[in-house]
A and B are shown apart, each in its own frame.
Chain A
């Protein structure tokens, strides 16, 4: 029987690391873009309040909206994370599948 669980586990771990490393820069760049967007919005919001274009009540209401925008951005990052997790899990399953198939072939 040519099925070595340690070898297969190491192969699966390596596949997971590879998949995550490949996609991670996408998440980092997006999170940085979200942060930059937030800075620009808050700067504009502060400017409007200082100039008197926004009442205190509306200013506070817009700050509440920032929570919703953050929630939208976190949902977008969640999709990226799930895509990465899906790639990693499938890469690991593929390694396992190949090892099991090879072991069965050898046993026949």
Chain B
């Protein structure tokens, strides 16, 4: 009788050990990047469109003559876009394992502030510079989108 109980107990211990090992193996996954965030991807797209619209409208509706492109005419739009860029940076900062996307946001803000300051100092912007600035930001936003959409490549991300 005692021997029978001992065999039963050993069996339960083994089953418990098996369950534990299955649990351990199933949760044993590595994570190098955060999970894809569709809302952030949407915000990147919306901000990229706002920047594109900003420069295309400037190009289409104003000229450098008669102070048509004076910095003061665009201050509000510069601020509105910078607010969106700062928001993207902050949202990326609170996600762990996200240093690459954070750096891309920092570079975008650095260049946005630099070109804003150039516009302020010169108090005008030539057609060529508008095109160059627009192209530069279009390419940086593409890199930002790649970094976010790249997170979608991950199969079965850890929960």
Write the residues of chain A forming the contact surface with B, with a CB cutoff of 8 angstroms.
19, 23, 26, 30, 33-34, 37-38, 40-41, 44-45, 47-48, 51, 53-54, 58, 62, 65, 68-69, 71-73, 75-80, 82-87, 89-91, 93, 96-98, 100-101, 104-105, 108
Contacts and interface: CB of A to CB of B under 8 A. Distances in A.
A72 B151 contact: no
Interface stretch (B65-73, B75-83, B127-135): B127-135
Given A76-B100, A80-B146, A82-B33, A68 B111 contact: yes
B129 A83 contact: no
Given A69-B140, A75-B143, A80-B150, A48 B107 contact: no
Contact of A76 (B15, B18, B118, B147): B147
B103 A71 contact: yes
A71 B139 CA distance: 12
B146 A97 contact: no
Nearest to B104: A72
A14 B114 CA distance: 49
Contact of A41 (B17, B128, B139): B139
A82 B104 contact: no
B30 A71 contact: no
Given A44-B135, A108-B15, A82 B32 contact: yes
Contacts of A45: 132
Contacts of A104: 17-18, 21
Given A37-B139, A69-B139, A87-B153, A75 B132 contact: no
Contacts, number: 128
A80 B143 contact: no
B25 A97 contact: yes
B74 interface: no
A75 to B, nearest CB: 4
Contacts of B39: none
Given A33-B142, A53-B128, A79-B146, A72 B135 contact: no
Among B18, B25, B110, chain A packs the most CB atoms within 10 A around the CB of B25
B9 interface: no
